[in-house]
Amino acid sequence: MTSSSIRAHVTRILRDLGIDQPPIDVDVVAQALHAEIRREPFADDLSGVLMRKDDLAVIGVNQAHLPERQRFTIAHELGHLELHKGTPVHFDRAVVHVNLRNSISSQAVDREEIEANRFAAELLMPEAFLRRDVDELRANGIADVMDDGLIQELARRYTVSMQAMTFRLSNLGLAGVL
């Protein structure tokens, strides 16, 4: 799936939910997409899991991780829910489709993982919202240079890590604008 089609998909979700300001409440989005969120104690290298059977979807999130990381994990798993079928796993007589978010996921070497990461970034830091905020900062004379204070403010506003915000701004070509 292309970046623009993922962006359009997320834009429709946010529009349908009437969300037009950050931070995006991923719990509200999950509920609208019929996914239950469960924060559970997982091994540290497992961020989350999406399990679904028929119309039931459950996102398990590592409760020991920082809130910003949990938000990204939920958004990532919502990306899998919306974009991918998952791997069938047989439990007794039932077939459950599973997607895992672990250390391999973050390496973005698999097409589905790349797409789920794009979905998560677009959901948590929608391009239109970021462009609007960057324009606002520039209009107020605040965004003349790229510095940690500005990235920190945007990260706080969107409730994401500084690393995620830096990466997103760079991917959108906005890093040089700040």
pLDDT 10s digits, 132-145: 998 887 777 765 44
CATH, domain range 3-124 = 1.10.10
Q: What's the pLDDT at 26? A: 98
Sheet of strand 46-53: strand arrangement: 35-40, 56-62, 46-53, 94-102, 87-91
Using 70 as the pLDDT threshold, list the residues of the chain that sit under it: 87-108, 142-147, 176-178
Q: What's the pLDDT at 34? A: 95
Residue 139 burial by Cβ neighbours in a 10 Å radius (0-12, 13-18, 19+) = exposed
Q: What's the pLDDT at 118? A: 96
Range 30-59 burial, b when 16+ CB lie within 10 A, else e: beeeebebeeeebeeebbbbbbbeeeebbb
pTM: 0.86
Per-residue DSSP letter, 24? P
Helix (H) or strand (E) holding 87: strand 87-91
- Tell me which residue of 77, 79, 75 sits closest to 26, measured CA to CA: 75
Q: What's the pLDDT at 99? A: 66
Mapped onto helix, strand or coil, the DSSP state of residue 134 is helix
Residue given tokens 């990461």 in the structure block: 117
Q: Domain-by-domain residue ranges, the chain?
A: 3-124, 125-178
